[in-house]
Structure 1
């Protein structure tokens, strides 16, 4: 496969992405590949304007094309600031890459990031999909998202920055105790590494094994799909004939396809206990409701139905 005509780097002005932008340019320019530096201004820090200008100037000095987006608004009451920022960041990066006809976006996550993500997901009670943490490569919205440094230790990136004397910023939110990852980095990670020096390598390896398990679950769900899913509806009778683990696995996969999000475990447990049940029934679900009619489960987007509501 020929190399792409252009490649983008998500550049925040932090140490890791600054190093990745510099390294990508050194590798791409001799090959005639255009490099884009894509920056997302979250509007959350007083220094954000300075960070935008730093990436702009570095891109100009090093020979990269620069583009940026400013996120508008903020998380709704009760929503996670981290989740809002992450969703907005990837949406903005995808928009810029698509406008530039750029099929590849590089992200600067490294091995410690992967280990931290696995640990946070484990503390949230995640299954194999969550414990998979971050993939080396993913395809979304016609774009390849790649993390070329995901298996590298943070120390290797620090050494690269020192060697090339790269100017970068330190985002204070990385150590913010009000954020889950900030608490992990300041309070948990130092103690964990002191007690278990191999923690970073071991947790990153656990993420890789979880990715294999999640892929296997997807393949099994694909095998069970034809017998139990009819025109997008989950047929309860053949679904109930599956062994318990495959039954829950297919239910989770069907719900992801129907709602577009990973369903809460509480919903999976409730459906397993209450399906099929007598007559027509309803269950609230992310973004809408589930309806059981004539032995088939369907999803309808819209306001969530509650017990006692009209209908």
Structure 2
């Protein structure tokens, strides 16, 4: 049986040299073997030691042995991925993992990192987005390529099913580690993987393909909205002028505000915050109308004839309004 990861890489024009995010688990093991076989001497591996469980040292030792056998350099980064009170442990671990992978890549002169996320991971991501009431960006799932912390991350296996990777692992005998936390039903993603996906497969056997099609359609619509927002932001200026914002229909105004906050301030307003901001802008018909609203982790405030966002509480004496 041929490695399905190798089949996926055969049609990918990879940026070389390439780093593989290698956890030691089955999926990243299949990706590492495929990449090392296709581009010998051009592959390096990055391993994040989370320190969240006693087995973390065993994972690192396994990754070192596997990479030595494949002739692939391995770079290890240690991170404390514990979450703050009220913070999702899954979100905290994911942010820490990406930051560490990017730091490792930059430290070794690597601009591109390949991740082993596959079709089942994409479905799980979309279902989590649906459960949170996400918009088009969330329903678009994981992109094939993104930039984070100055590094390009790639997902060449998004059309490969998890079962195909696991079958190759079992048949080839490629050594890998099983993460015990993957069976912990306290985590939403694990409940989806272990309880919901089998039910979906029994009811809708083609759900992976149809979900992937929906993700692509959502991504196309999201890109179109981003293009419209970019045009509106260019017309309104930065910071945006209230007069230009007030000239837009409510739906288009919501779109431009959402993209302005995300693109320039990495702030994502809740639905309630965005609706309140829309109401305030629509009511802002005089120069004396004040706007100061909490949005994400900061505040949107009117200053003269523009809107500004602060990532901390704004001064107690705002700029005078004429």
**TM-score normalised to structure 2 length:** 0.88
State the 1:7 CA deviation: 1.1
Residue in 2 that maps onto 1:145 = 153
Stretch of structure 1 that moved more, 3-12 or 165-174: 3-12
Residue in 2 that maps onto 1:195 = 203
Matched, 1:245 2:251: yes
Distance 2:147 2:189 in 1: 26
Pairwise CA RMSD of aligned residues?
A: 2.0
State the 1:84 CA deviation: 0.6
2:19–2:105: 8 Å Cα contact kept in structure 1?
Answer: yes
Matched, 1:185 2:193: yes
Q: Which runs of 4+ in 1 moved over 3 A?
A: 2-5
Deviations 1:58-102 (A, max 9, x none): 011111101111112621100010011000000000001001111
Distance 1:3 1:202 in 2: 27
Residue in 2 that maps onto 1:10 = 21
Question: Compared with structure 1, are the counterparts of its residues 4 and 136 closer, same or farther at alpha carbon in structure 2 (3 Å cutoff)?
Answer: closer
State the 1:255 CA deviation: 1.0
State the 1:285 CA deviation: 2.2
Question: Compared with structure 1, are the counterparts of its residues 25 and 73 closer, same or farther at alpha carbon in structure 2 (3 Å cutoff)?
Answer: closer
Distance 1:206 1:5 in 2: 31
1:287–1:303: 8 Å Cα contact kept in structure 2?
Answer: no
Question: Compared with structure 1, are the counterparts of its residues 5 and 255 closer, same or farther at alpha carbon in structure 2 (3 Å cutoff)?
Answer: closer
Listed as ranges, the gaps of 5+ residues in structure 1 are none
Residue in 1 that maps onto 2:35 = 24
State the 1:304 CA deviation: 7.4
1:7–1:36: 8 Å Cα contact kept in structure 2?
Answer: yes
1:37–1:66: 8 Å Cα contact kept in structure 2?
Answer: yes
Residue in 2 that maps onto 1:235 = 241
Number of corresponding residues = 302
Equivalent residue for 1:211, pick from 194, 219, 241:
219
Stretch of structure 1 that moved more, 203-212 or 107-116: 203-212
Residue in 1 that maps onto 2:267 = 261
State the 1:310 CA deviation: 8.5
Matched, 1:76 2:84: yes
State the 1:143 CA deviation: 2.2
Distance 1:48 1:236 in 2: 53
Deviations 1:225-244 (A, max 9, x none): 22212xx2121221121122
Stretch of structure 1 that moved more, 56-65 or 280-289: 280-289
Stretch of structure 1 that moved more, 101-110 or 132-141: 132-141
Residue in 1 that maps onto 2:312 = 302
State the 1:265 CA deviation: 1.8
**TM-score normalised to structure 1 length:** 0.91
Equivalent residue for 2:293, pick from 278, 283, 299:
283
Listed as ranges, the gaps of 5+ residues in structure 2 are 1-12
Distance 1:173 1:202 in 2: 29
